[in-house]
Amino acid sequence: MALRIKRIYEPKDDKDGMRILVDRLWPRGLSKQDAAVDIWMKDIAPSPALRRWFGHDPANWTEFQHRYRGELEKNPSAVEELKRQIGQADAALLYAAKDLQHNHAIVLQRFLGKE
């Protein structure tokens, strides 16, 4: 089983497997048909307060990872639901952030131990 992370704006690929949107907000300018999302898991995304605090500022990256992992640990039902949805199949965690190296999908993938 492979768990990939991928920007939702990239074209759907056969390697994606189950496509799981892990953002709290729907991506701008993208129709639901074009997104080809199988599941939208808003509750696994960082809280609005944490997302605003982070602001995709690389200077906040280390602390963001720590805080987001804390949120994930306090939300076991969402984490377990994500694990159940992924199962033993290939899956892609989809996110909208422009920064490919500082985004919550990276933290989530690592948290799940699927890096």
- Edge-to-edge order in the sheet of strand 18-21: 3-7, 91-95, 18-21, 39-40
Confidence of residue 115 (pLDDT cuts 50, 70, 90): very low
Q: Are 61 and 102 in contact (CB under 8 A)?
A: yes
In terms of Cα–Cα distance, which of 98, 104, 95, 85 is closest to 26? 95
- Is beta strand 91-95 parallel, antiparallel or unpaired with respect to 3-7? parallel
- Both tokens of 42, joined, read 């808003």
pLDDT of residue 88: 82
Tell me what the mean pLDDT of segment 18-39 comes to: 94
Q: Where are the domains of the chain?
A: 3-111
In terms of Cα–Cα distance, which of 1, 32, 3, 12 is closest to 93? 3
State percent of the chain over pLDDT 90.
90
